[in-house]
Amino acid sequence: MAFTKTNNDEWLFLNRLPELTFAALKKRPKVKKTGSRKVIQYIFRTCGLTVFPDLNMKYTNEINKRRTFAIISHPDAGKTTLTEKLLLFGGAIQVAGAVKSNKIKKHATSDFMEIERQRGISVATSVMTFEYNGTLINLLDTPGHKDFAEDTYRTLTAVDSVILVVDSVNGVEDQTRRLMEVCRMRDTPVIVFINKMDRDGKNRFDLLEEIEKELKISLHPMTWPINSGKEFKGVYDLHNKSLVLFTANTKASDEDVVQIKDLSNSILDKKIGETDAATLREDVELVDTVHGELNVEDYLKGKVAPVFFGSAVNNFGVREMLDMFIRMAPTPRSRETSTRHLDVNEDKLSGFIFKIHANLDPKHRDRIAFMRICSGKFERNKYYHHVRLDRDIRFSNPYSFMARQKDIIEEAYPGDVVGLFDTGNFKIGDTLTEGEDFYFTGIPSFSPEIFKEVVNKDPMKTKQLEKGLLQLTDEGVAQLFTQFGGTKKIIGCVGELQFEVIQYRLLHEYGASVQFNALPFYKACWLTCKDDKKLQDFLRFKQANSAEDKDGHPVYLAQSEWFLNTERNNNPDIEFHFTSEIHKEAV
């Protein structure tokens, strides 16, 4: 008997459920210990039903409709430009802003802060939602500069897959390697988009070999380029067996796509010339021999990365990648928590805060917390349990995003990123549930590498400065320390550019003018000790190097690796931690 939702078998089955349950338990008593869901599934097998009604699958259709991914790369590889083109295909915007163009007043939709518009770079992760071919896509555009790496690393914990943009001219760069390491830690599925094919760059085979060797991932070409630079004529779609022709400075249209199932067809010679046609035939034969058919399972496990060639600024090769992404990218996944494995199909809501942004609209002192929904259904005006504060809160104006533009939503499902209006309740890594207490694991908080003292240039603005420092450090762009036994404020960042961003935002968003004085520290270590007296004695003795983070946890600021190792050897009872993840339970 085949069970389908289109006939009355479900009703018949539910009416016979008590009788079947009794029979199943009698037949196999040990099933009692495995919980009601296992009993139901066992009953189904016993009755020869081919599909189990999963008791927690009421949101399956919504979950299967969603794809949540981030675009990552080294600076200037074309992430934000690619983001714009994807939004263009999704109908979310009508005209893409020219990134870094001084002549045109338009700016990239995803670069929403004033400083991003001035510099033509992204300095914060922006979240955008759009629909394409019946699929709801949540897209996160990340900063490429290593100075903002922490924001990018946290964003990678909130997505299910990644598009890695590689510049065909420069190949693999430092930041690309670091980002891929984070992806490998979580086995995140990766699609590679090799951009700027209309510029003279590296040989395509050399480029693929370099990516495989440097990033330690197997590649599987899905499209293949015909020449590059000024001679770039287009790509051959290996999956759909079609030729996509390229014309500079024009948008790719359906007329540019020619179906060529067999490459020996003479149409190929007419379209791209005999020499290029011969080269393409040789290349495709070699690629087919080496790679064969793509195994989607290997892609989903993060072992193989499909590769697409194109030119984002010319809108070329983007549609082919987007179509393939919709077909094979993972739907929202189940996740690990501090107490158990959380299934994405569970009925009850759970989600975590991975980013906080103050003053999204400079005219209003708003602060938005970005929450990734991991299970259940989020509803407007419903009370949810804030695990860290141990209290229930509700949200009357939850938002979905198009960078700065916000739309109020009534409900959201796993995979969605929701903006919650925050009055200071949230910190990065906080969890919302429907009553259960747990935290999502693996949300990093790294030790800063550069430390500077904050000097207030206008004593009349002390209150604004304190408020600005607290709000900006809550966003996770930097960490704030107060010297032990004193009032000296110290900011720790991963890169120099972050200090410029903080200085700019303090002045323009809070009216506080500051200068930063460099300090000779190289790493911050969070301290724990079973003997509180020993810890207090150490902090007193090392007062010049001791501080508290903004949550009141003791921190040792080491001047060099030698000093750090010396203190660790001299104080074996005190533990030195390089991330603040250890305080997750205590915070």
Which helix (H) or strand (E) segment holds residue 3: the answer is: none
Residue type, 130: F
Separation between Cα atoms, residue 415 and residue 160, nearest integer Å: 8
**DSSP H stretches of helix in 384-495:** 462-474
How would residue 16 be classed by pLDDT, with cut points 50, 70 and 90?
low
* pLDDT tens-digit readout, 36-72: 555 555 555 555 444 444 444 567 888 888 898 888 8
Q: Per mean pLDDT, which range of 255-259, 264-268, 545-549 is the poorest? A: 255-259
277-289: average pLDDT: 84
**In the structure, what pLDDT confidence band is assigned to residue 308 with cuts at 50, 70 and 90?**
very high
Local confidence band at 192 (pLDDT 50, 70, 90 cut-offs): very high
The rounded distance, in Å, linking the Cα atoms of 260 and 133 is 25
The answer, yes or no, to whether residue 476 has pLDDT greater than 50, is: yes
Six-digit token pair at 182? 């984070």
| Contact predicate 238/287, CB 8 Å | yes
273: left (phi over 0), alpha (psi -120 to 50) or beta: left
Domain 450-583 belongs to what topology?
Alpha-Beta Plaits (3.30.70)
**Domain extents for the chain?**
9-55, 61-328, 335-433, 450-583
In the predicted model, is pLDDT for residue 110 greater than 80?
no
Assigned CATH class of 61-328: alpha beta
Task: Tell me if domain 61-328 and domain 335-433 are identical in fold.
Answer: yes
On whether the CB atoms of residues 33 and 42 are closer than 8 A, the answer is no
d(CA 520, CA 40): 64
Residue 444 has a pLDDT of: 63
Write out the CATH class of domain 335-433: alpha beta
Give the per-residue pLDDT at 101: 37
The answer to whether residues 425 and 389 touch, using CB atoms and an 8 Å cutoff, is yes
Provide the pLDDT for residue 562: 92
Q: Measure the CA–CA gap between 367 and 360, rounded to whole angstroms.
A: 7
How high does pLDDT run on average in the chain?
A: 77
3-state SS string for 338-384: CCCEECCCCCCCEEEEEEEEECCCCCCCCEEEEEEEEECCEECCCEE
- Does residue 226 have a pLDDT over 60? yes
Across 252-261, 335-344, 533-542, least confident range: 252-261
Say if CB 221 and CB 296 are below 8 A apart: no
In a 13 Å sphere around the CA of 77, the CA atoms on its Cβ side amount to 29
583, 551 contact by CB (below 8 A): yes
Three-state DSSP class for residue 392? strand
Q: Is the pLDDT of residue 452 over 90?
A: yes
| Mean local confidence (pLDDT), 158-178 | 85
Note the pLDDT tens digit of each residue in 398-416.
Answer: 877 654 456 788 888 998 8
pLDDT recorded at residue 91: 63
Compute and round to an integer the Cα radius of gyration of the chain: 27
Q: What's the angle, vertex CA 133, arms to CA 130 and CA 139, rounded to 5?
A: 30
Compare 89 and 531 and report the one with higher pLDDT. Answer: 531
Q: How far is residue 143's CA from residue 76's CA, in Å, rounded to a whole number?
A: 10
Q: How many CB atoms lie within 10 A of CB 585?
A: 8
Exposed / middle / buried, residue 14 (Cβ in 10 Å: 0-12, 13-18, 19+): exposed
Q: What is the pLDDT of residue 365?
A: 61
Q: How many residues does the chain have?
A: 587
First and final CA of the chain: distance in angstroms? 54
Amino acid at 582: I
Provide, rounded to the nearest whole percent, the portion of the chain with pLDDT above 70: 75
